[in-house]
Structure 1
Amino acid sequence: MTGDREEPLPAAATGGLVEVACDESGSDGENLLGGNTDVFAHAGVRLEVAVAAASIQEIRNRIRSPAQEYKANHLLREKHRPVLTWLLGPLGPIHGHAQVHLTDKAFFVVGRAVDLLLGNAAHAASAGLSRDEEAHALAVELYREGPGTFGSELWQEFLESANNLMRTKNLWGERTPVESFFRTVDKLRGPGAGTPVDDILERLAAARAPADSFRARLLDDPALIPALDPLIPSVLRTVAHWSEGTRPVALVHDRNNTLTEERIAQLQRLFAEAHPVGPGYGPRGRLTSVTLVSSRSDARIQLADFLAGVARKIASDELNHRGDAELTELLRPYVDETSFWGDGRSWSLLGPVSGVRL
């Protein structure tokens, strides 16, 4: 069953069903470069409702703010740092019972563009359940080499043209974003000649046919799963994480305009379809339902909101060379190894020790 409801859900402990409460932070839809944040975070928490409610009350007792609803920014205030370190630490209520999937938005744009134009169509159709390893490696190289090779202004122009190429809600029709993207690629080929990304640019410049085909599909079927909304693959990866390949997963999610009944049905079908699975992605599991609720009605979602919000801030700070070593280390056990992250330095600090290096 899928839909909205206000009352807290009973804990799911029968039949092997895993019930996970989720929320996100940093969502700007498909506008990944023009929003207020450079990182998107999606968190899942698996706790009994009573345990989650007691945890929220403990946080309120420690912070003592008169606010009706606490948000992540309460925990991120310096005066409440002991509360944050307790929540994330090994003695906190969510340790071992929560996961967060991170997305560096700029890398996500590069990765989706390269996957769309140069990757295997079967992997692209999986919407995040699997990946084309060759296309992923090309995206990582382009992301890491691009700013230094082309300069910040031209690199930003490339990111924006790639973002516009893949946006579902695009008023330009079929041709204009395609033409704009390939004009930008042509600009890059001059400074890119003889550099490590030379071959990638040549391959992108020759990929007009898949770009035209993609835009045509968008016009023919506006209900396609958005290529650029990081919420969709984050939800998919959350299910895959908690299912451990065998257990059915039911999500209780804070309300989000992206998660329409039609979209949820599409997500469930993705788990039923056969897609190649890349190294580090493992078995996919099964999504049984997505129930949308108000965060105020479910303490587990409030904890997921806390984790997503603080994870986004900690990860963004680390990405931008202003990381807090203690908080980064505390976040690390929660970070999903399949997060969309291309920066090697920050991932070496954020990513799980045994995880796949992106």
Structure 2
Amino acid sequence: MKNTQTSIEHALEIACDESGWEGSNLAAANSDVIAHASIRLDIDAAAEWIRALRHRSGHDSYEYKASHLLRARGGPRLAEFLGPSGPVHGQARVHLTHKFCFILGRVLDLFLGGFADTASLGLRPDPSLADAAARLCRAGPGTFGPEPWQAFLAATNVVLRADRGWKVRPPVDAFFGQVEVLRTSNADSPVGQVLDDLRELRRRDAYSARERLLEGHVLQPVLEPLLPALAGTVLHWSRGLHPVAVVHDEQSALTERRMRLLEQILAAPPLELIQLPAHGHFLHFRQTDSRTDPRVQVADLLAGVARKIASDELAGRSDPQLTALLRPYLDPASRWCAELTDPSLRAAG
């Protein structure tokens, strides 16, 4: 690729929002799914759709949200929104994160994968570890029981968090204690080899892996799924060639320093997926209140709807029609481990 000169006026502008993000405690969150949506839509067209939705629903006095669309009687309005005649068809992308799958993938990356997943913004995970995380996520609750499994997930989350005390040994010891509990309770489980691999590591460099996590947590937080989602979003819309201007709903995890690092990682070896311009930035990023930009409101609607459909899939109460309508929007790199009725939502972890 040739070096290019660019400014924000020449960048392709997209609007983004997320639904289901609740901070770094992914193991005990209220929602099991994060959906990150991006759209390329004219601001006037977005405003017209928001006005029409408000008028038809009677919600003229405040921001129209996904919950209003989901509660609309009979469901035709939701089908209209997602369907071929809707505002976002062919102009949107959704990245899904199953929170349990994400933290399991990251803990294997921390202790067994040399940070390949984290360092590549989720774009180049170790395939064997991604498969192991998926198998562990699917088998865990039924194999080990709800309470031991939840205790293991909680310990996993803690060992991945950058606590204020910068503790190294206690979180690592607690995590491997839970590994031992699971291994002892069901030594012949289909995922026993994954637990064996983790148990063997304790004698080598588990503490140093935790130290590395703490050293890099400001710019490369292991527990931040929005960074992989945004990296995939940039690559999808840019094709690696066209600078992108992202207008995003206000989100504390997406700092300017992290955006600059994201840009550098995408451009540098071993990824080399974009070519930085000779002047300026490939990724232009600004945040705004969703109520001030109708495109971000539409992205918010899409994210909220996608999260609800995906959560229903996980809970076994899927609507085949809605799942089919969501299919064209899904990022195949979504972090998804569960066995789903629709294979389109079973993206590789």
TM-score by length of 2: 0.90
Find the partner of 1:134 among 128, 140, 143.
128
Where in structure 2 are the equivalents of 1:281-320 lying within 5 Å? Answer: 283=273, 287-320=282-315
Question: 1:78 Cα deviation (Å)?
Answer: 3.9
The reply on whether 1:26 has 2:38 as its aligned counterpart is no
Question: 1:57 Cα deviation (Å)?
Answer: 1.7
Where 1:23 maps in the other structure, the secondary structure is: strand
The reply on whether 1:154 has 2:148 as its aligned counterpart is yes
Question: 1:163 Cα deviation (Å)?
Answer: 0.7
The reply on whether 1:35 has 2:29 as its aligned counterpart is yes
Q: Structure 1: 5+ residue runs without aligned partners?
A: 1-11, 278-282
Matches of 1:129 and 1:159 in 2, distance apart? 23
> Could you say which residue in structure 1 is the equivalent of 2:89?
95
Moved more, 165-174 or 89-98: 165-174
Find the partner of 1:252 among 242, 247, 254.
247
The answer as to whether partners of 1:32 and 1:109 remain within 8 angstroms in 2 is: yes
Find the partner of 2:196 among 202, 208, 212.
202
Identity %: 45
Moved more, 31-40 or 259-268: 259-268
Q: 1:212-265 CA distances to partner (integer Å, 9 max, x unpaired)?
A: 123223444552421112111111111122122322222111111112222222
Moved more, 257-266 or 45-54: 257-266
The answer as to whether partners of 2:65 and 2:300 remain within 8 angstroms in 1 is: yes
Q: How many residues align?
A: 337
- Letter of the structure 1 residue corresponding to residue 26 of structure 2: L
Question: 1:346 Cα deviation (Å)?
Answer: 4.1
Where 1:59 maps in the other structure, the secondary structure is: helix
- Letter of the structure 2 residue corresponding to residue 154 of structure 1: P
Where in structure 2 are the equivalents of 1:176-187 lying within 5 Å? Answer: 176-187=170-181
Find the partner of 2:109 among 112, 115, 140.
115
> Could you say which residue in structure 2 is the equivalent of 1:6?
none
Matches of 2:102 and 2:275 in 1, distance apart? 24
> Could you say which residue in structure 2 is the equivalent of 1:86?
80
- Letter of the structure 2 residue corresponding to residue 95 of structure 1: H
Q: CA 1:30/1:285 → structure 2, altered by over 3 Å: closer, same or farther?
A: farther
Where 1:194 maps in the other structure, the secondary structure is: coil
Q: CA 1:124/1:225 → structure 2, altered by over 3 Å: closer, same or farther?
A: closer
The answer as to whether partners of 2:32 and 2:311 remain within 8 angstroms in 1 is: yes
Q: Structure 2: 5+ residue runs without aligned partners?
A: 1-6, 277-281
Question: 1:345 Cα deviation (Å)?
Answer: 2.2
Matches of 1:123 and 1:276 in 2, distance apart? 12
The answer as to whether partners of 1:23 and 1:44 remain within 8 angstroms in 2 is: yes
> Could you say which residue in structure 2 is the equivalent of 1:243?
238
> Could you say which residue in structure 2 is the equivalent of 1:270?
265
The answer as to whether partners of 1:244 and 1:285 remain within 8 angstroms in 2 is: no
Question: 1:301 Cα deviation (Å)?
Answer: 0.3
> Could you say which residue in structure 2 is the equivalent of 1:340?
335
> Could you say which residue in structure 2 is the equivalent of 1:163?
157
- Letter of the structure 1 residue corresponding to residue 306 of structure 2: A
Q: CA 1:96/1:41 → structure 2, altered by over 3 Å: closer, same or farther?
A: same
Question: 1:194 Cα deviation (Å)?
Answer: 2.5
- Letter of the structure 2 residue corresponding to residue 164 of structure 1: V
Q: CA 1:333/1:238 → structure 2, altered by over 3 Å: closer, same or farther?
A: same
